[in-house]
Amino acid sequence: MKLNNDLAKALNDQVNAELAAAHNYLAMAAYFDSADLPGFATWFRAQSQEETQHAMKFYDFISKRDADVTLAAIAQPTQTFDSPTQAIEAALNMEQAVSAQIHALFGMASDHKDYAAQSLLNWFLDEQVEEEDSFRNLLIQTRAAQNDPWNLQVLDKELAARPTDPTPV
């Protein structure tokens, strides 16, 4: 079944939104590297990689449904923050915005009775619940540790355990 043109356009916009998220999280990784918090940097690098995988899920769906994938420009990400907490607040805001985008896409897929698109978007609805929860937890932990250098170091060590692909050498 050919993709509806409006839905194809909206799914393409989401490819770009996920790539923009990947770009923003990589910028946050660079911020944490600059701030000498390599564990946070690793965690954000892994998150950036996950966003690229999200983009590719939409990319493959569009392509397999015989529509065209069209990439657009990505704005320069913010790379300076006043504190680790501020960076993570920005990340949580971004995930909340992505959740709203996925909801809107699901509504559009429902309007067009595109059940395959709804199935894809069901995965993303669940994923956004996980993403928001994960950033909210990180924010709580970072807020608790931010005024205590020792606790911040302990948290940084914990975050370093998140696997990245490939593992940095």
Distances (CA, A) of 125 to 17, 42, 45, 84: 15, 25, 23, 27
The Cβ of residue 60 has, within 10 Å, a number of other Cβ atoms equal to 12
Site for Mg ion in 42-71 (CB under 5 A): 51, 54
H helices of the chain, in order, are 5-34, 38-64, 84-111, 115-145, 149-159
Please check whether residue 139 is in contact with residue 99, taking contact to mean a CB–CB distance below 8 angstroms: no
Nearer to Mg ion, 18 or 156 (CB): 18
- Compose the 1-30 pattern: x for residues touching Mg ion by CB under 5 A, - for all others: -----------------x------------
Tokens in use for 67?
């529509």
User: Smallest gap, in angstroms, from Cβ of residue 145 to Mg ion?
Assistant: 26
- Find the residue with minimal CB distance to Mg ion: 54
User: Residue 131 or residue 156: which is nearer to Mg ion going by CB?
Assistant: 131
Q: What is the DSSP string of 67-107?
A: --------PPPP---SSHHHHHHHHHHHHHHHHHHHHHHHH
CB closer to Mg ion out of 51 and 156: 51
Q: Give the residue carrying structure tokens 């992505």.
A: 98
Q: How far is the CB of 108 from Mg ion (least distance, A)?
A: 18
Minimal distance, residue 149 CB to Mg ion, in Å: 32
- Map the footprint of Mg ion across residues 63-122, applying CB under 5 A: none
By rule CB under 5 A, what count of residues binds Mg ion?
A: 3
Q: Half-sphere exposure of 75 toward its Cβ, with a 13 Å CA cutoff? A: 5
How far apart are CB 95 and Mg ion at their closest, in Å?
8
Least distance in Å: CB of 51 to Mg ion? 5
Q: Contact residues for Mg ion (CB under 5 A)?
A: 18, 51, 54
